[in-house]
Amino acid sequence: MQYSEKVMDHFNNPRNVGVIDDADGVGEVGNPVCGDMMKISIKVDDDSISDVMFQTLGCGAAIATSSIVTEMAKGMTLEQAVAISKKQVADELDGLPPAKMHCSILATDGLKAAVDDYLNKNGREPISGGLAHDDPNFDPHAIEPEEVCDVEG
């Protein structure tokens, strides 16, 4: 399994780490029991994301996808932000190992949750269409068919 240079860059120098104190919306997805968890806070200005910060506990891919998604989202409309797909996140990072594709769901779900939280706080309908993490059939362990299992000796 190999991470792209771009993944490693975002992992080693994650952008927008932290919490926005007076955030307009906050999303929190994942679970420490599963090994990864993300919290994302956004400022919204005229239905566009004007600022975004994240905190993530997780593997290299979880941190890198969190970081890139904050860069991608900044300046987007809410509609655009919730439409970011896991494939777009992976592409933006020059690809992810098949076994790590699920990590991009953490990031896109986190962003969706933050947007819905903002809308909810403002008495508006959610627009994310639901989170993968809320689906009872969602299996964060599900991996792409091409996955190669690496092992400790």
Partner 1 sequence: MSDNRFVYFDYAATTPVDPRVLDAMTPYFTELFGNANSLYGVGRQAFNALEDARSRVARSIGAAEPREIIFTSGGTESDNAAIIGITRAIAPKGGHVIVSAFEHHAILGPAHLLEKDGYDVTYLRPRADGVVHVEDLQSALREDTVLVSVMHANNELGTIQPIAELAAAAHASGALMHTDAAQSVGQIPFNVVELGIDAATFSSHKIYGPKGVGVLYLRRGVRFQPQINGGGQEFKRRSGTQNVGGAIGFATALELMLEDQSEEIARLTGLREKFEKGVISALENTEVSAKADNRLPNIAHMLIKGVEGESMLLQLDAKGVAVSTGSACSSGSLEPSHVLLSIGCPQELAHGSLRASFGRFTTEEDIDYFLEVFPPIVNRLRAMSPVYDKMFGSSAK
Q: Considering the complex, what minimum distance in angstroms separates the CB of residue 28 from partner 1?
A: 7
Residues that bind partner 1 (CB under 8 A): 1-3, 8, 11-12, 14, 17, 28, 32-39, 55-63, 97, 99-100, 102, 140-141, 143, 147-153
Q: Considering the complex, what minimum distance in angstroms separates the CB of residue 124 from partner 1?
A: 25
Nearer to partner 1, 61 or 93 (CB): 61
Q: What are phi and psi of 48, to 5 degrees?
A: -125, 155
- CA triplet 75, 79, 85: central angle to 5 degrees? 90
Residue among 149, 151, 138, 144 nearest 98 (CA): 144
- Evaluate whether 133 touches 86 at the Cβ level (below 8 Å): no
Nearer to partner 1, 1 or 87 (CB): 1
Q: Considering the complex, what minimum distance in angstroms separates the CB of residue 52 from partner 1?
A: 14
Nearer to partner 1, 98 or 126 (CB): 98
H/E element, 109: helix 101-121
Choose the catalytic residue: 1, 34, 45, 85: 34
Whether 59 sits among the annotated catalytic residues: the reply is: no
Nearer to partner 1, 123 or 145 (CB): 145
Whether 103 sits among the annotated catalytic residues: the reply is: yes
Choose the catalytic residue: 23, 84, 103, 132: 103
- Evaluate whether 36 touches 59 at the Cβ level (below 8 Å): yes
Strand locations in 1-153 (E): 25-31, 36-45, 48-57
Determine how many CB atoms are found less than 10 A away from the CB of residue 135: 9
Which residues belong to the active site? 34, 103
